Amino acid sequence: MARVVVDVMLKPEILDPQGKAVHGALDRLGFDGVASVRQGKRFEIELDGTATPERVAEIERAASTLLSNPVIEDFALRVEP
Amino acid sequence: MARVVVDVMLKPEILDPQGKAVHGALDRLGFDGVASVRQGKRFEIELDGTATPERVAEIERAASTLLSNPVIEDFALRVEP
């Protein structure tokens, strides 16, 4: 059983109102010294069997089409041991 | 400028309908060999200045109170270089 983690974040040039709201809440609750907050999604995908390069390439294809919107989001994929 | 990443995931014993929906969609779109999908949140927090142990402890306190719901969610925090 292998695990692939896909992190999906808004591209840096896209406004992130969710992150801004969290940043505002941190300020109001007295957590100082935060310059910015951005919020994204994390997917933990468990594969049957091992993470062969073909399987990982397929998950990468899924990440770029189903898990993220390539117009406004970037994703990072890594295989966890 | 230091970056702290907080990953928030539902606890393993909590049902994850979002992840289940993604898993179902992967199946229907022909992505086979996936055993399970769980979806969570990722926060990228940029700090002013460096990540001293005190600052990181404060972010950890924010993570356990504001960024996650400790009843149903676990979080993992790491400082990125």
Q: What is the pLDDT of residue B43?
A: 98
Q: What is the pLDDT of residue A81?
A: 77
- The proportion of chain B whose per-residue pLDDT surpasses 90, expressed as a percent, equals 94
pLDDT-derived band at A41, boundaries 50, 70, 90: very high
Average pLDDT over residues A31-38: 94
Nearest CA in chain A to B67: A22
Distance from CA of A72 to the nearest CA of B (A): 16
Whether domain A2-80 has CATH 3.30.1280.10: yes
Tell whether the model's pLDDT for residue A1 goes beyond 90.
Answer: no
Q: How confident is the prediction for chain A on average, in pLDDT?
A: 95
Question: What residues does each domain of chain A span?
Answer: 2-80
Tell whether the model's pLDDT for residue A31 goes beyond 80.
Answer: yes
Pairing relation of β-strands B73-80 and B34-47? Answer: unpaired
Q: What is the pLDDT of residue B81?
A: 77
Residue B37 with chain A: CB contacts under 8 Å: 43-46
Spell out the residues 6+ positions from residue B74 whose beta carbon is closer than 8 angstroms to its own: B8, B9, B10, B11, B68
Which is more confidently placed, B67 or A1? B67
Average pLDDT over residues B60-74: 96
Q: How confident is the prediction for chain B on average, in pLDDT?
A: 95
Buried b (16+ CB within 10 A) or exposed e, B35-50: ebbbbbbbbbbebeee
Among left, alpha and beta (phi > 0; psi -120 to 50; other), residue A54 is alpha
pLDDT-derived band at A71, boundaries 50, 70, 90: very high
Distance from CA of B78 to the nearest CA of A (A): 15
Distance from CA of B35 to the nearest CA of A (A): 5
**SS3 label, residue B67:** helix
Of B31, B38, B42, the CB nearest to A40: B42
Average pLDDT over residues A3-32: 96
Beta-strand (E) ranges in A1-81? 2-10, 34-47, 73-80
**Is the CB of A1 less than 8 angstroms away from the CB of B35?**
yes
pLDDT-derived band at A43, boundaries 50, 70, 90: very high
Residue with tokens 């993220």: A68
**Is the CB of B33 less than 8 angstroms away from the CB of A41?**
no
Chain B interface with A: residues with Cβ < 8 Å = 1, 7-9, 19, 22, 25-26, 29, 31, 33-49, 55, 58-59, 61-62, 66-67
